[in-house]
Amino acid sequence: MGFVGWTSYVILLIIKSHSNLVGSIQNNNKRSISLLQYGFSAVGALITFFLLIQSCPWTYYVYCLLPVPVWYAVVKEFSIIQDVIMFFWAFPLAKSIGFLFIYTLGIEIIVFSFFYRFTLTVGLIAFSAWPLVTSLWTRAKITTLNWTLSCLLLAIFPLMPVVGRDANISLVITAGLLTFLISSFCLAYLWKSKHKYVHNKDLAIYLFQMLSIALSTYVVNSTHSSLLRKQGLPVVNQIVSWTTLASSLVAPLLSPTFLFQRLLSIFLSLMATYLLLSTGYEALFPLALTALMFAWINMEQETQHLRGVSLKSKLTVLSFSYSTDITQFRQLHLDDIRRSFFFVFFILAAFFGTGNIASVNSFDPASVYCFLTVFSPFLMGGLLMWKIVIPFVLVSCAFEAVQVTTQLSSKSLFLIVLVISDIMALHFFFLVKDYGSWLDIGTSISHYVLAMSFTIFLMLLSGLAQLLTTKRIRLWRESKRHSM
Does 429 have pLDDT greater than 90?
no
Secondary element (H or E) of residue 240: helix 235-247
Percent of the chain residues past pLDDT 70, beyond the cut: 88
**Contact partners, residue 201, CB within 8 Å, separation at least 6:** 476, 478
User: For residue 355, which of 125, 160, 107 has the smallest C-alpha distance?
Assistant: 160
Tens of pLDDT, residues 154-186: 999 999 888 767 788 999 999 999 999 999 998
Q: How far, CA to CA in Å, does 257 sit from each of 186, 302, 459?
A: 16, 22, 22
Q: How confident is the model at residue 349 (pLDDT cuts 50, 70, 90)?
A: very high
| Confidence at residue 484, expressed as pLDDT on a 0 to 100 scale | 36
User: For residue 283, which of 121, 183, 170 has the smallest C-alpha distance?
Assistant: 170
Q: Which residues, in sequence order, are bridge partners of residue 319?
A: 258
Q: Sketch the domain layout of the chain as residue ranges.
A: 2-91, 120-318+339-406
Question: What does the DSSP 8-state code read for residue 356?
Answer: -
> Can you tell me the mean pLDDT for 468-484?
65
Q: Are 448 and 431 in contact (CB under 8 A)?
A: yes
Q: Which residues, in sequence order, are bridge partners of residue 19?
A: 332
Q: Can you tell me the distance from the alpha carbon of 206 to that of 56, in angstroms, rounded to the nearest whole number?
A: 64
pTM for this prediction = 0.88
Q: Are 257 and 317 in contact (CB under 8 A)?
A: no
Mean pLDDT across the chain:
84
| Confidence at residue 99, expressed as pLDDT on a 0 to 100 scale | 81
> Can you tell me the mean pLDDT for 31-37?
78
**Contact partners, residue 429, CB within 8 Å, separation at least 6:** 3, 448
| Confidence at residue 175, expressed as pLDDT on a 0 to 100 scale | 95
The residue with greater pLDDT, 70 or 269, is 269
